[in-house]
Each structure stands twice: as C-alpha cells, then as structure tokens.
Amino acid sequence: MSIDTTPVLLEVAGLKKYFPVKHGTFGRHHHQLKAVDGVSFGIRSGETFGLVGESGCGKSTCARTIIRLYRPTAGRIIFEGQDIAPLNSSELMPVRRKIQMIFQDPFASLNARMTVQDIISEPLDIHNIGTPAERRDRVDGLLRRVGLDAAHAGRYPHEFSGGQRQRIGIARAIAINPSLIICDEPISALDVSIQAQVVNMLEDLQADLGLTYLFIAHDLSMVKHISDKMGVMYLGRMVEMADSREIYANPLHPYTQMLLSAIPIPDPKKARARTPVPMDREIPSPLDLPMGCRFVDRCRQSLAICREIEPGLCDTGAGHWAACHLYR
C-alpha cells in the first residue's frame, strides 16, 4: 500500500457530545446521554468519508458537532490545521464559510417563504460576497450547475419536487465554495430513480470543485457506492473504520458483519442463498449501556473479557481499524 500524501482536511480526535437528560419529579435526577462518546477519524482532501450506523448511533450528532451546531463536550475538531472545537460564534464565521451542510429533508430545510434566488444567495449575503448583480449571476450559474432552470430563481420551494428541492439545497451549500460538505442522509427522502440522479451529481461536483464529503446515511449500499473510506458507528462509538471496499469484502467487527448480512440484495438468487439473520436483541438504551463492549448483548462471538473491558479502536493492519477484543 502506497503512502497517501494528500493533506488531511478534517481530523476529529476523541470527540464527545453528551446531552443532559432529566428524570423523576421536577427533573431531579440527571443523566447523561452519551450521543457521541470518543470518536476519532480523519478525512483527506478530496475524499469521501462515509459514516453508517443504525438510528441513534450518534452519526448525525457527530456531524452537527463537527459543523459546531453543538458545542462538543470534549475532543478536538481540527479543520485545516485549526482546532475549531473551542471557538465562539464570531470566531467560527470564517470557518463556516468553508464547511457547509446538506440536510435529509428537502421539505424542512428550505425556508418556504423565501424564493430560490434568496435561499441560494443567503450564504453570499451573510459572508458579504460580491455585489447584488454578481450574486444574481452566481445564483443563475449555480442553478444551472445543479441541473435546474435559471429562469425558476423567482419561484418558491413548494413549486419544486423533492429531488429538485434537494438540488436547491446543494446549490446553497456550494454557493460560497466550501471545502468540506457534510451530507446528512441527503438522499433518504428521495425516490430510487431520483437518488441516483442526486448521487451522480454529488460525484460530479466533487470531481469538478475538489470537494471533500462527510457522507452520512443508513443505506449501506449507497455509502459503499459513494465513499472512499468509511466508519461504522454503534451507540456513540466508532467500531470499525477502513477503506469502503475493504469493509465490505472483509468486515471484522461482529456488528459490521451483522449490518452487512442484513442489507437486502436486489438479486433473488443471491438474496435467497444467504443464511437468514438470526433473531437478535435490539439496541440497548443509550442511557443504560452494558458494562464493557456496548455490543456485547447482541454479539454471538463475545468473550468473557467483553463484559469487563470496553475495547478501543486499534489498527489490525493496512489501515483497517476495529474496536473488538477478537482482534487485539
């Protein structure tokens, strides 16, 4: 394996985000919900890093903390060499110009009372880029770039379909030439035929503009398709991380193996040849985690040590990381 010399654009180290949860009469009992509990990974410039996991695993919280919609409980978020975890909102302004986000729900993420022109030029207004005429030209260009008609700039979001709205969201995200785009389930709300259109467009934009993506989804086949590297999260922890193809070809962590065996394959012979997924316990509450490894209750290969000591993420060779006692 050759050594990759592309610079690391984003490095997350020991990121934690806890939420206080109140219980009992007048909320006297305080608990901590450990949504993200010590996650570390890096994304090289121009790369796509996929983050997968079941609902509640902390993948969206992780993304929102990186873009600093949340204040991290602990850890470092090093973006272009600068730790942005401790910055306050005015210090964050220049950083936010470089990190943009695309959201899951194309209906909720666009202001229904603004025209498409205003929605896409809002980031330009906030960051004081260009004259009004230049901004209008820029919006026209962006609309064409995402495959929409520039003449529709005066319309409102409700006049567009879900796929078109997601394109508007993408145009808004790339308006100020960011280097990192966080895509939080950008295609889950779209129809199959439209999903492929949007994914192809994201790939084209990456090639043309040199974008770096953090791509979050629960659809593992789509994450495998789009990402170069990926991480699997389980209850706030990264349990496995490697090259995407390597993860699919050779999953190490029992949780990753379980996830992969559950993906429905659109091929009747292959789908039926697989052994059915055995009945499993469901995810424990993040407020009441088991001792040791968080996956221990659902794991079929657990050892005695798994109930006592929580395994850390370690390199099993060739950049394939797993947090499991089986590979120590």
Among 21, 69, 277, 305, binds other proteins (CB under 8 A): 277
288 touches other proteins by CB under 8 A: no
CA distance 46 to 139: 24
Structure tokens of 38? 């010590």
Give residues with Cβ within 8 angstroms of 77, minimum separation 6: 10, 11, 12, 15, 65, 66, 68, 83, 84, 85
The angle at the Cα of 326, spanning 324 to 328, to the nearest 5 degrees, equals 80
What is the C-alpha to C-alpha distance for residues 186 and 197, in angstroms, rounded to an integer?
A: 12
Q: Does 206 bind other proteins (CB under 8 A)?
A: no
Specify the residue for token string 């508007």. Answer: 168
**Are the C-beta atoms of residues 53 and 59 closer than 8 Å to each other?**
yes
Tell me which residues in 47-106 interact with other proteins (CB under 8 A). 54-55
Comparison of 28 and 281: residue with beta carbon closer to other proteins: 281
How near is the Cβ of 196 to other proteins at its closest, in Å? 3
Binding flags for other proteins, 10-49, as an x/- string (CB under 8 A) = ----------------------------------------
Q: How far is the CB of 132 from other proteins (least distance, A)?
A: 32
- In sequence order, what E strands does 252-300 have? none
| Binding-site string for other proteins from residue 217 to residue 236, where x marks contact by CB under 8 A and - marks none | -x-xxx-xx-----------
State in angstroms the smallest separation of the CB of 211 from other proteins: 17
Residue count (the chain): 328
Binding site for other proteins (CB under 8 A): 54-55, 161, 163-164, 191-197, 199-200, 203, 218, 220-222, 224-225, 245, 248-249, 258-272, 276-277, 279-280, 282-283
